[in-house]
Amino acid sequence: MEKNKPEIRFKGFEEEWESHQLNYYLVVSSDKNQSEEYNKYDIYSVSREYGVINQIAYQGKSFAGASLTNYGVVSTGDVVYTKSPLKSQPYGIIKTNEGQAGIVSALYGVFHPSEKVNSTFVQTYFELDSRLNDYLRPLVNKGAKNTLLISDEDSLNGNVVFPKKDEQEKLVALFSTLDKLIRKLELKLEKLRNIKQSLLKQMFTNVNGGGCAAPLIRFKNYNGDWQMTKLGDMTERVVRKNSNLESSLPLTVSAQNGLIDQGEFFNSRIASKDVSGYYLIRKGEFAYNKSSSEGYPYGAIKRLDKYEKGVLSTLYIVFALNNSMVDSDYIVAFYDTNYWHEEIVKRAAEGARNHGLLNISAEDFFDMSITLPIDKNEQYEVGHYFILLDKIITDNRDKLSKIRTMKQSLLQKMFA
C-alpha cells in the first residue's frame, strides 16, 4: 500500500490522504444546557452498536442527575467521545450524532465538525477497533477503577489520516448502505428467532404443565393427546471411546450453533492432544452439554448434523435413538423448547456443580420425561417444519456474518 493511500479506492481519486491532528477537523463544544431547553427525555447515551442514541430508548430509563444545566448540548452532526472503557474499546468510543439535538452528561466530550470534514466520516473512520484504540491509547491516562483521564482538548491531539471531503462523503455513503443492510438483516433474524420461539411454545406440550395434553397449534388431520415417555425408553447411551483414533475432530455443544468444531467456535482447540479417551460421536447422535450459558441455564441437547463424526469430552452425555417409532427431527425440535428444563431442575443436585457443570447423573438424565405425538407422521411434520425454519435462520445468520466480515475488511482496506 502506498503511503497515505488506501489499498482499495473509488475510481477518480488519486491524491494522497492528509495527516493532521484531529483538532484540524473538530473543535471542542462549550454549549451547555443552561437554559434547560432539554429535559431528561432528550438525554443521549453512546453505544458501540447503535451510536448516539436516546438514553431511555436504549437503556429503558433515564439516569439524569438532579440538574441538567451542566449537560453538554449535542447538535445534529456533532461528534461525541464517551470516556467509558469497554472490553474491545478500553479507551472509550467516538460516535457521531446523526439524529436530533439532545444532551449528554458532562463526562462526555462533544465536538463540532469544521467545514473540512463530514462528521459521519469521523465515526466510520473510528469504527475499526484497532484504529480507534491505536488513536486513543497514547492520549489517555487510566486512573483508579479503570477511569479514563483525558480532557476534551487532549482527545483531539492525536493524528488521523483523512481524504478530502468529497472522498469522505463517498465512503460515508458506502458504509451507510452497508449499515442499513446489516440492520435490516439483524431485524429479520430477530423476527425469525421470535417466530420460532413462539411456535416452540405452541406446537409442543409441556412435560410438567398438563401432562399429555395436545399442543395449542398442530398440523391438520391430527387429533388426540400426545404421549409421555422416558428418554431412556427410546434411546441408548453412547459410551464408545475413540481408542482407535477414528476421529481427531474435537467438538463442543453450543446452544445456538449445535455440535460444532472447537476450533471454529472458540478460535482455538481446548481438547487434550490425546483424544483416544474421548467419546466418539457419529452423525445423527445427540449430546448433552451440562454447562450453562447466557440464556441457557440448563445447558443444551443437540444432534450432530454438520460432520460425519467427531470426539467429545466424557463430561458430556451422548445418546442415540433406538426406537423406529420416534422421529429424530422431532427430538431435535423438542430440545429447542424449554419444556425439559424442569426435568433437569428436579434431578440435578441443588446448587451443586461438577467441573462447572450441572450435577446430574446419566441415570437421572435418561429418566427424564419427554412428550411426543403418538403418530410418527405428526412427529415428522413437526420436526421437519422446525428443521426448515432453522435452515432459514441459519442462512440469514450466515448472510449477516458475511456482510459484517466484508464491512470489517473494507474498513481496513479503504482507509489509509
The CATH number of the domain where 44 resides is what?
A: 3.90.220.20
Residue 184 lies in a domain: no
Same domain? 257 vs 361: yes
**Is 322 part of a structural domain of the chain?**
yes
Task: Determine the pLDDT at residue 63.
Answer: 84
Q: Write the pLDDT tens digit of every residue in 96-123.
A: 999 999 999 999 999 999 999 999 999 9
pLDDT at 65: 79
User: Containing domain of residue 124, as a range?
Assistant: 18-162
Q: What is the pLDDT of residue 354?
A: 60
Q: Are residues 93 and 214 in the same domain?
A: no
188 within some domain:
no
* Residues 276 and 340 both lie in one domain: yes
In a domain, 294, yes or no: yes
Q: Are residues 126 and 69 in the same domain?
A: yes
- The model's pLDDT over 261-287, given as tens digits with 9 standing for 90+, comes to 999 988 888 888 899 999 999 999 999
DSSP H helices, 203-313, are 262-266
Q: For the purposes of burial, counting CB atoms within 10 Å of the CB of 259, is it exposed (0-12), middle (13-18) or buried (19 or more)?
A: buried
Of the candidates 335, 399, 46, 79, the residue with the CA atom closest to the CA atom of residue 207: 335
The answer to the question of residue 346 being in a domain is: yes
Within a domain: 388:
no
At 202-240, the pLDDT tens digits run 999 988 755 578 899 999 999 999 999 999 999 999 999
The verdict on 147 and 221 lying in the same domain is no
Say how many Å lie between the first and final Cα of the chain, rounded. 8
Average pLDDT over residues 384-389: 97
Q: 353: pLDDT confidence band, cut at 50, 70 and 90? A: low
- Of the pLDDT bands very low, low, confident and very high (cuts 50, 70, 90), residue 3 is low
Mean pLDDT on 14-18: 94
Same domain, 153 and 229: no
pLDDT tens by residue, 299-333 = 999 999 999 999 999 999 999 999 999 999 999 99
Q: Is residue 99 part of a domain?
A: yes
Alpha carbon separation from 340 to 196, 199, 234, 361 (Å, rounded): 17, 16, 16, 16
Q: Say whether both 89 and 214 belong to one domain.
A: no
The pLDDT of residue 1:
38
> 359 and 243 in one domain?
yes
Which amino acid, one-letter code, is at 184? Answer: K
Do 249 and 375 have their domain in common? yes
pTM: 0.85
Average pLDDT in the 365-369 region?
95
**How many structural domains compose the chain?**
2
